[in-house]
Amino acid sequence: MKPLFSFLALFLFINLHASAQQVTATALDTSMRPSVDTLPMSDIDIPVKINLKALYRIAESKVDTIFHSTGWPVDYYQPACDTRYMYRLRRGRLRINALGNNMDLKFTGYYQIKASTRLCTGTVGYSPWTPPCSCGAGAEGARRVDMGFSMRFSLKPNYTVQSKIIRQPSVALDQCNVCFWGQNVTSQVISAINSQMDTAGWALQRALDKLDLRPQFQQIWNKLWATYHLYNAGYFQLQPVRLRVSELYAHNDTLYLSVGVSGRPLISLRPLKDTLVPVPNLSDFTPRHGFRVYLDARLDYDSLAAIMNAQLDHHTFTVDNKNITIEKCSLAHLDKGLLQIGLQFSGYQSGTFYLSGLPTLDTATGLLDISELDYHLQTNNLLIKTASWIFSKKILKELKEYTRFPIAQYLEQIRKQASTQLNQPFMKGIHSEGQLDNISIIQLSAGPSEMNVRCQASGELAVFVSDLTW
């Protein structure tokens, strides 16, 4: 961005101060002069691919591996008058399968249980507890059971989460026989496991359904509205209008989504005020890709003149062995979209040129030019009488080479440099891939207090997440 607007400032100086090559005294036709209307909406949509293996590793490290009844291994849990037990369950490796916006989380549990019984009438026991019996302990080895959840998540337009978590049927891979008579309590164990799994699933779903991400998205929205200082190129605001996040879609070990923003970006040489705007609801959950950006650069004349003076750096012209050095330039707006350019000079003689011209852009050839030029000399009477040589054809020819600037090759260099910048790592495990297909200046006009330059750029950008460290 910095080279583009430095070039624009340089172009204004070169073309406008050298505009004396086409002197005309005829009336100016303003019917074809461009005007900067409402800026078209810019759309930036970035596909994101996330390697789910990284998330699987995170889930594996975050989910507990040991579950047990309260009081294990000393106290029993008593669900009824005639039964008490204690258990310990070790979670095996998570098995995660994702397809579309559904995710299945399964694992094998390895459990051991110790239980005893007594005789009861209603809620009153009338016999002592039997000696504790167990399964899954000692040489027998832990008993195995397959269990898991099916989960579905989506982000609603108001930034709340809609979730559906369903327990999958637990399947006993081994039978649990206790006591010397071999009582099979597998169904009771599975029933107890299912009950606790249901409770955990409901608690998780309630927590997710209460989750409101609007505050977090508001922080992101505030950053999108913030003013960013561009070194040597003014101030930038994205000025977003809409925000979107596509539905999640998983296939094999990859999660796909796209994030997008629509807005009307602005660059100004004067500081811009940060604006606090409530984040709008999400819209358009359709996956999209690519960006087409329209950017208005509002370059006030005082700031442009300061940049041009720095670029000019006392440039000297030699004509007929006479030297004149441009000391200072100024810019002002005239009627009908014309610019007035004042050029103070010194050397063989001194004074001020006042040039006027209409900035024009040939989008077909990529040529920036100044048309409908007029100029005059304003200095003391002696200079007016003695400086006619300045208006000679020779100096016009000297200045002619600065009148036009072909920007096509320059913009192609910017396109290649920007494409390189779009392909780089952000941080460990996250990188971007993309290209800038096109960049162009599509409109140029002089307003009452500023020069308006409209640019357009389009291309592709994607983000790949191969690894995450939390």
Alpha-carbon 84 to chain mean position = 57
Tokens coding 201: 């699933």
Contact between 246 and 155 under an 8 Å Cβ cutoff? The reply is: no
The pLDDT, as a whole number, for residue 404 is 62
The pLDDT, as a whole number, for residue 398 is 56
Tell me, what DSSP letter sits at residue 23?
A: B
* 3-class SS of residue 55: helix
Alpha-carbon 222 to chain mean position = 13
Nearest to residue 53, comparing CAs of 269, 283, 253, 326?
A: 253
Tokens coding 262: 């629509």
The pLDDT, as a whole number, for residue 335 is 80
Nearest to residue 445, comparing CAs of 296, 260, 239, 328?
A: 296
Contact between 4 and 10 under an 8 Å Cβ cutoff? The reply is: no
Nearest to residue 453, comparing CAs of 463, 465, 462, 441?
A: 441
| CA dihedral for 105, 107, 112, 115, sign (positive or negative) | positive
β-pair type (450-465, 42-51): parallel
C-alpha neighbours within 13 Å on the C-beta side of residue 275: 13
**302 membership: H or E segment, kind and range:** helix 301-312
* 3-class SS of residue 186: helix
Amino acid at 225: W
The pLDDT, as a whole number, for residue 380 is 42
Q: Tell me which residue has tokens 């709008």.
A: 280
- Please give the C-alpha separations between residue 172 and each of 73, 75, 143, 165, 194, in angstroms, as whole numbers: 23, 25, 8, 21, 11
Tell me, what DSSP letter sits at residue 422?
A: T
Backbone angles phi, psi at 164, to 5 degrees: -145, 115
Nearest to residue 434, comparing CAs of 447, 419, 449?
A: 419
Nearest to residue 261, comparing CAs of 283, 277, 276, 278?
A: 283
Instruction: Sort 353 into a burial class: Cβ within 10 Å, 0-12 / 13-18 / 19+.
Output: buried
Contact between 86 and 75 under an 8 Å Cβ cutoff? The reply is: yes
pLDDT in tens, the chain (470 residues): 333 333 333 333 223 333 333 322 222 233 333 444 688 999 999 999 988 887 788 778 877 888 888 888 889 988 889 888 888 889 999 888 888 888 898 999 999 988 888 999 989 999 999 888 888 887 788 999 999 999 888 889 999 988 888 999 999 999 888 775 677 878 878 887 888 888 888 888 888 888 898 998 999 899 889 888 766 567 888 899 999 999 888 887 888 999 999 999 887 777 888 888 999 999 878 889 999 999 887 778 887 788 777 767 787 877 777 788 888 888 888 887 787 878 788 887 777 777 777 877 777 777 777 777 666 555 444 444 555 555 555 555 655 555 566 667 767 777 888 888 889 887 788 899 999 898 888 888 778 888 787 888 899 999 998 876 54
The pLDDT, as a whole number, for residue 16 is 30
The pLDDT, as a whole number, for residue 411 is 74
The pLDDT, as a whole number, for residue 145 is 94
